[in-house]
């Protein structure tokens, strides 16, 4: 793993982020005027013009972008139009709730998907395999807004087992984490199954089995380690997706995280908040990609990456 | 003569403001109530917001010089014991003594001056400033008397000092606290004179209030009130069914049957100051819609009674104009609209458009996302009825921001749905200005006679003269038909049976008198 390779990757990552910032910056501005939304429905034209000037929305777009980029490089992401406080404060306050939800969903995904995938692969075409895969397809095809509402109706309203919404305790975390992870469990279970099937057919597994090694050793040490590479990739990237994909789950469960903040900010045309969240999630995504690449080369030195 | 009438007026006003009795000795506040609302506040500073979530908190933590009388819907004494009009442009308020802010700071003339000056200061960027620009200054006469001097006669002034949390209202703030701690601290740690005080704000999640034991009207009965943001309507309904919430706001009509099946929960609704979303016709672009006969014909095709019964399932009322009959200046002589498809067709023929010939497809903008109760369905109904006249409609649903921008655009749309109400606006002239005055950024009506009536009413201090002008304006609005027949939607809440609380006005959630059974 050469330093120049790493430097090159870092430069790519930086370029990616700048391009994203440009796209977001112009996209949010194409969707309408934040001033109208910030002011009451009965604001006077004078009020509107005044606020527009105060926020600098009358300057050319290029100038506004330059101003944004220069301050962002200094770590200043501006002031939220809606909350009237530094965007960084607004965003970092909401980040822990989302990280907590995404991490719980990821752990749940791994805890369910890996065993399910492995067992399915080992008992290929058995009843167990068919049942597991049916459940997986179901999980992948249930949209989270439907699954979330159904879980609330059944678990909270009907059975009174868990709270219907809210944030704070482990009990509050269960339903949102299940809702959020359903899709990913399905994805990763299928990936594990196909990866394992591929590996189980290979010569060295037959050799290992022929040597009379115990099944667990064959499966975990020999097969899973080799089937693991694509799983690491997906898990790494999906964690980014999880962080950015909590929008619907957070809205359903009144979870005070980043996803809900993003939706509100988009509807309210709170440009600085939208920009910062998109940049933050992009940065996480890009970093995860980078980490996955590094891990790849570390696990399997044969892999050449451009 | 004029001064005698003013004196008489002052006496009448004083008579209206009968001082309330001494505070009732009450038991120690106890228990907890959770209120589930659709959104969380962006600030807790009542002078710096234009949104319902902030107002929900402000209405329980802050107060104004006057209160809304819940029986007459006029004014009753609040932080001011009385007020009178000294001359056309001077209003004198006598303040209540012994009222303290939550931090112990005393409420007096300084606080009034500070609070008004803060809203008027352009640097402050208060969204309430625009509606108060006619106020010139506040003069302190003595520690418990202030004169508020306006640049021109401003008959709407008492309205601006009534009910916290409504654009244009001036809530009373503690001057020393705000000056010492600064605006940013105040926005998160507000201090008012209200029955509750804010103890904890978990941003994006909930606001916790605690009973103000030293409240001047006597402590409230409930110790803790939590305003919890639950954006998803079906989750809000689940919250009331599981008892995680005790009161929920903005109940979708199609969930009412489910809620009613649970014996522990009841539906509570009010039609007072309900939202009156109306459909306005653009009269300013020329073409067939500039012809009053075409507009009248379109109105005759609409059966608002049917809309209220079927689409709203009875959770609303038909109205002649989108105005609350209990608001100041409502013309009680206005007759409810009667649909008549045959007459509509005849009128259209007389206007030279038999079977809608020569009328281009009408572009109809309306908001999505349940902003108005069943608003999308009402829009579809309108399009369907116009179809019966041979008038084609292109429905153009708009997400909040897009819709708001479109409503201010007087050139691109033929029909538009918007509502002015639900926030305690209790003066029909104030409402009609936004609906129909040509100077309103949202009005698609341009009628000099109508503008003149409202303009004159704005400067007439005598309530009877103002009422007469308002009545004429309303008759003209019916005659010229710039709006389709109107209706008003109820504000619908769900409440646990063990909680004693009812909505009083529109969307307002006032918890001072709430208690547990």
Mean pLDDT of successive 10-residue segments in chain B (517 residues)? 45 44 63 94 90 92 95 93 95 97 97 97 86 94 98 92 86 98 96 98 94 96 97 94 96 91 96 93 95 97 95 93 93 93 96 95 92 92 97 93 86 94 78 91 94 92 93 97 96 97 91 95
User: What is the overall mean pLDDT for chain A?
Assistant: 86
Mark which residues 40-59 of A lie under 8 Å from B by CB. Answer: 40-47, 50-51, 54
Torsion of CA A29, A33, A34, A40, to 10 degrees: -170
> Given a cut of 80, is residue A192 above it in pLDDT?
yes
CB B127 within 8 A of CB B50: yes
User: Closest residue of B to A262, CA-based?
Assistant: B204
Helix (H) or strand (E) holding B341: helix B341-350
CB B492 within 8 A of CB B253: yes
Chain B: closest CA distance from residue A153 (Å): 7
Chain B: closest CA distance from residue A147 (Å): 12
From B84, B138, B80, select the one nearest B110 (Cα to Cα).
B138
Q: What pLDDT is stored for residue A97 in this prediction?
A: 94
> Could you say which DSSP state residue B253 is in?
G
- The per-residue DSSP string of B106-123 comes to BPSHHHHHHHHHHHH-GG
From B513, B464, B508, select the one nearest B249 (Cα to Cα).
B508
> Given a cut of 70, is residue A288 above it in pLDDT?
yes
Three-class SS state of A106: helix
Q: What pLDDT is stored for residue B16 in this prediction?
A: 44
Helix (H) or strand (E) holding A139: helix A127-141
Chain A: closest CA distance from residue B49 (Å): 8
Mark which residues 23-42 of A lie under 8 Å from B by CB. Answer: 31-33, 36-42
CB B422 within 8 A of CB B275: yes
With a CB cutoff of 8 Å and minimum separation 6, the contacts of B259 are: B237, B240, B241, B251, B265, B267, B494
Contacts of A256 in chain B (CB under 8 A): 40, 202-205
The partner residue sitting opposite A42, judged by closest CB among B167, B187, B238, is: B167
Q: What pLDDT is stored for residue B131 in this prediction?
A: 84
CB B204 within 8 A of CB B42: no
CB B507 within 8 A of CB B52: yes
Contacts of B400 in chain A (CB under 8 A): 37, 267
10 Å Cβ neighbour count for A62?
Answer: 8
Torsion of CA A104, A109, A112, A116, to 10 degrees: -170
Q: What angle do CA B235, B238, B244 make, to 5 degrees?
A: 105
Q: What pLDDT is stored for residue A296 in this prediction?
A: 77
Residue B358, both tokens = 């020569």
**How far apart are alpha carbons A150 and B106 in whole angstroms?**
52
Sign of the alpha-carbon torsion through B379, B380, B381, B384:
positive
The strand pairing partners of B140, in sequence order, are: B146
- φ, ψ at A267 (rounded to 5°): -60, -35
The partner residue sitting opposite A165, judged by closest CB among B168, B203, B235, is: B235
The partner residue sitting opposite A260, judged by closest CB among B168, B231, B434, is: B231
Reported as a pLDDT band with limits 50, 70 and 90, residue A117 is very high
Helix (H) or strand (E) holding A236: helix A225-244
Contacts of B228 in chain A (CB under 8 A): 166, 254
What are the CA-CA distances from residue A33 to residues A48, A95, A266, B368 (Å)? 10, 27, 11, 18
Reported as a pLDDT band with limits 50, 70 and 90, residue A200 is confident
User: Closest residue of B to A268, CA-based?
Assistant: B401
From B494, B503, B504, select the one nearest B251 (Cα to Cα).
B494
Mark which residues 396-425 of B lie under 8 Å from A by CB. Answer: 399-402, 404-405, 408, 420
10 Å Cβ neighbour count for A199?
Answer: 19
Residue B65, both tokens = 């010089």
The partner residue sitting opposite A37, judged by closest CB among B229, B234, B401, is: B401
| B120: Cα within 13 Å, side-chain hemisphere | 17
| SS3 per-residue string spanning B434-474 | HHHCCCCCCCCCCCHHHHHHHHHHHCCCCHHHHHHHHHHHH
Task: Tell if the CB–CB gap between B125 and A51 is shorter than 8 Å.
Answer: yes
Three-class SS state of B261: helix
**How far apart are alpha carbons B46 and B171 in whole angstroms?**
7
**How far apart are alpha carbons A165 and A147 in whole angstroms?**
14
CB B39 within 8 A of CB A260: no
**How far apart are alpha carbons B67 and B195 in whole angstroms?**
14
Residue A93, both tokens = 């306050």
Q: What pLDDT is stored for residue A34 in this prediction?
A: 74
CB B55 within 8 A of CB B46: yes
**How far apart are alpha carbons A25 and A62 in whole angstroms?**
10
Task: Tell if the CB–CB gap between A44 and B130 is shorter than 8 Å.
Answer: yes
Cβ of residue A100 closer than 8 Å to a chain B Cβ: no
Q: What angle do CA B495, B499, B501 make, to 5 degrees?
A: 70
**How far apart are alpha carbons A273 and A122 in whole angstroms?**
48
Q: What angle do CA A53, A59, A64 make, to 5 degrees?
A: 110
Mark which residues 180-239 of A lie under 8 Å from B by CB. Answer: none
Q: Is A213 exposed, middle or buried (0-12, 13-18, 19+ CB in 10 A)?
A: middle
Mark which residues 264-293 of A lie under 8 Å from B by CB. Answer: 264, 267-269
Mark which residues 90-119 of B lie under 8 Å from A by CB. Answer: none
Sign of the alpha-carbon torsion through B329, B334, B340, B345:
negative
* Distance between start and end Cα atoms, chain A: 11
Three-class SS state of B500: strand
* Distance between start and end Cα atoms, chain B: 56
CB A181 within 8 A of CB A106: yes
Q: What pLDDT is stored for residue B135 in this prediction?
A: 96
Would strands B277-281 and B265-275 be described as parallel, antiparallel, or unpaired? unpaired
Residue B264, both tokens = 């522990």
Sign of the alpha-carbon torsion through A163, A168, A169, A170:
positive
With a CB cutoff of 8 Å and minimum separation 6, the contacts of A154 are: none
From B440, B441, B435, select the one nearest B478 (Cα to Cα).
B435
Q: What pLDDT is stored for residue A304 in this prediction?
A: 62
Cβ of residue B167 closer than 8 Å to a chain A Cβ: yes
- φ, ψ at B503 (rounded to 5°): -70, 135
What does the pLDDT look like over B93-141, one tens digit per residue? 999 999 999 999 999 999 999 999 999 998 888 888 888 989 999 999 9
Reported as a pLDDT band with limits 50, 70 and 90, residue A61 is confident
CB B130 within 8 A of CB B156: no
- The b/e string for B468-480 (b: 16+ C-beta within 10 A; e otherwise) is bbbbbbbbebbeb
Q: What pLDDT is stored for residue B26 in this prediction?
A: 53
10 Å Cβ neighbour count for B267?
Answer: 17
**How far apart are alpha carbons B437 and B431 in whole angstroms?**
10
Contacts of B420 in chain A (CB under 8 A): 41-42
Cβ of residue B168 closer than 8 Å to a chain A Cβ: yes
User: Closest residue of A to B43, CA-based?
Assistant: A83
Q: What is the ipTM of this complex?
A: 0.85
Q: Which residue in B186, B372, B401, B405 has the most chain A C-beta atoms within 10 A of its own C-beta, making it the best mutation to test that interface?
A: B401
> Given a cut of 50, is residue A109 above it in pLDDT?
yes
Contacts of B40 in chain A (CB under 8 A): 256
> What mean pLDDT do residues A123-143 have?
89
Contacts of A162 in chain B (CB under 8 A): none
CB B329 within 8 A of CB B470: yes
Contacts of B405 in chain A (CB under 8 A): 32-33, 36
Length of chain B: 517
Q: What pLDDT is stored for residue B23 in this prediction?
A: 44
Would strands B247-248 and B32-37 be described as parallel, antiparallel, or unpaired? parallel
């Amino acid at each position: 793993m050469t330093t120049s390779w790493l430097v090159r990757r870092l430069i790519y990552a930086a370029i990616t982020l700048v391009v994203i910032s440009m796209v977001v910056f112009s996209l949010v501005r194409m969707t309408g005027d934040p001033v109208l939304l910030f002011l009451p429905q009965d604001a006077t034209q004078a009020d509107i013009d005044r606020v527009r000037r105060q926020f600098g929305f009358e300057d050319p777009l290029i100038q506004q972008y330059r101003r944004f980029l220069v301050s962002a490089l200094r770590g200043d992401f501006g002031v939220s139009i809606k909350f009237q406080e530094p965007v960084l404060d607004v965003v970092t306050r909401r980040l822990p709730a989302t990280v907590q939800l995404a991490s719980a969903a990821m752990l749940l995904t791994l805890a369910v998907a890996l065993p399910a995938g492995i067992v399915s692969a080992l008992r290929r075409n058995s009843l167990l395999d068919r049942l597991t895969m049916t459940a997986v397809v179901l999980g992948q095809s249930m949209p989270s807004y439907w699954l979330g509402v159904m879980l609330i109706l059944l678990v909270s309203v009907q059975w009174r087992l868990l709270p219907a919404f809210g944030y704070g305790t482990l009990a509050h975390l269960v339903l949102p984490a299940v809702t959020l992870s359903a899709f990913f469990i399905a994805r990763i279970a299928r990936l594990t199954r196909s990866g394992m099937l591929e590996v189980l057919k290979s010569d060295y597994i037959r050799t290992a089995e022929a040597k009379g090694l115990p099944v667990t050793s064959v499966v975990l040490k020999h097969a899973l380690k080799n089937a693991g590479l694509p799983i690491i990739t997906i898990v790494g990237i999906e964690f980014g997706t999880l962080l950015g994909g909590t929008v619907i789950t957070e809205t359903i469960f009144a979870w005070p995280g980043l996803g809900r903040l993003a939706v509100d900010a988009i509807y309210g045309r709170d440009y600085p908040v939208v920009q910062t969240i998109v940049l933050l999630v992009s940065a996480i995504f890009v970093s995860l990609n980078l980490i996955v690449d590094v891990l790849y080369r570390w696990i399997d030195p044969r892999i050449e990456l451009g | 003569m004029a001064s005698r009438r003013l004196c008489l007026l002052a006496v009448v006003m004083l008579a209206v403001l009968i001082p309330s009795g001494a505070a009732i000795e009450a038991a120690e506040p106890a228990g907890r109530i959770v209120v589930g609302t659709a959104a969380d506040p962006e600030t807790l500073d009542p002078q710096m917001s234009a949104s319902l979530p902030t107002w929900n908190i402000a209405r329980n933590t802050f107060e104004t010089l006057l209160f809304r009388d819940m029986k007459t819907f006029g004014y009753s004494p609040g932080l001011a014991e009385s007020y009178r009009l000294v001359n056309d442009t001077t209003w004198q308020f006598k303040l209540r003594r012994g009222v303290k802010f939550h931090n112990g700071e005393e409420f007096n003339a300084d606080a009034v001056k500070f609070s008004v000056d803060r809203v008027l200061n352009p640097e402050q960027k208060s969204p309430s400033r625009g509606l108060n620009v006619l106020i010139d200054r506040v003069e302190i006469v003595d520690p418990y008397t202030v004169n508020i001097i306006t640049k021109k006669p401003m008959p709407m002034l008492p309205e601006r000092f009534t009910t916290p949390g409504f654009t244009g209202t001036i809530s009373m703030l503690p001057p020393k606290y705000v000056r010492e701690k600064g605006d940013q601290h105040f926005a998160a740690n507000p201090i008012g004179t209200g029955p509750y005080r804010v103890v904890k704000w978990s941003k994006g999640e909930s606001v916790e209030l605690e009973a103000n034991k030293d409240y001047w009207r006597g402590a409230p009965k409930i110790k803790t009130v939590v305003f919890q943001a639950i954006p998803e309507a079906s989750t809000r309904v689940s919250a009331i069914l599981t008892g995680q919430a005790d009161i929920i706001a903005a109940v979708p009509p199609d969930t009412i049957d489910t809620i009613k099946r649970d014996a522990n929960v009841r539906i509570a609704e009010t039609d007072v100051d309900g939202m009156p979303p109306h459909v306005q016709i653009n009269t300013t672009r020329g073409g067939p819609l500039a012809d009053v006969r075409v507009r009248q014909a379109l109105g005759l095709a609409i059966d608002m009674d049917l809309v209220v019964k079927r689409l709203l399932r009875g959770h609303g009322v038909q109205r002649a104009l989108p105005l609350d009959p209990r608001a100041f200046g409502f013309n009680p002589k206005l007759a409810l609209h009667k649909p008549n498809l045959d007459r509509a067709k005849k009128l259209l023929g007389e206007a030279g458009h038999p079977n809608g010939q020569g009328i281009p497809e009408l572009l109809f903008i309306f908001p999505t996302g349940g902003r108005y109760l069943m608003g999308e369905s009402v829009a579809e109904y309108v399009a369907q009825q116009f179809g019966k006249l041979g008038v084609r409609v292109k429905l153009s649903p708009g997400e909040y921001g897009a819709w708001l921008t479109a409503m201010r655009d007087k050139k691109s749309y033929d029909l538009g749905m918007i509502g002015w109400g639900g926030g305690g606006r209790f003066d029909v002239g104030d409402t009609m200005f936004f609906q129909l005055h040509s100077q309103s950024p949202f009005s698609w009506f341009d009628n000099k006679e109508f503008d003149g009536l409202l303009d004159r009413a704005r400067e007439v201090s005598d309530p009877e003269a103002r009422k007469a002008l308002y009545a004429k304006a309303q008759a003209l609005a019916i005659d010229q038909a710039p709006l389709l027949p109107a209706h008003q939607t109820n504000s619908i809440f769900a409440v646990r049976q063990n909680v004693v609380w009812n909505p009083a006005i529109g969307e307002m959630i006032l918890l001072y008198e709430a208690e547990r059974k």
